């Protein structure tokens, strides 16, 4: 089992991991790069949502077994969306982009 799947095994563990990673990234931005807490959170929030919408469609396959479709379900809905894994992957990629942004751009006092 991969570390990503291990951390995505339960919702509380996934949320705790995401919160811890965000807290570390924001602390680094505030202490090391003179961003305000609000500015760091706002920048990370925008990056996180942008990456989420890019990552959501990856690896999705519609339900192939017609017996498993529930009445009213969209036939194109993913059979296994793996949202917790995608939330963790989004957090990691947005964290990398966040660090690159604060390293490259002069964002002090943002």
Rounded CA-CA distance 49/74 in Å is 24
Q: Got the DSSP string for 87-103?
A: HHHHHHHHHHHHHHHHH
Q: What are the pLDDT tens digits along the chain (110 aa)?
A: 788 889 889 999 999 999 999 999 999 999 999 999 999 999 999 999 999 999 999 988 887 777 888 888 887 888 888 999 999 999 999 999 999 999 999 988 88
Rounded CA-CA distance 61/64 in Å is 8
Rounded CA-CA distance 101/93 in Å is 12
């Amino acid at each position: 089992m991969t570390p990503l799947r291990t951390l995505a095994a339960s919702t509380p563990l996934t949320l705790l991991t995401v919160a811890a990673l965000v807290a570390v990234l924001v602390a680094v931005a505030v202490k090391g790069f003179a961003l305000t807490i609000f500015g760091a959170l706002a920048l990370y929030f925008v990056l996180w949502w942008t990456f989420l919408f890019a990552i959501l469609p990856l690896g999705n396959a519609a339900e192939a077994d017609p017996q498993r479709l529930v009445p009213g379900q969209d036939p194109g809905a993913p059979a296994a969306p793996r949202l917790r894994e995608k939330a963790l992957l989004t957090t990691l990629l947005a964290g990398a982009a966040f660090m690159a942004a604060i390293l490259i751009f002069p964002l002090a006092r943002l």
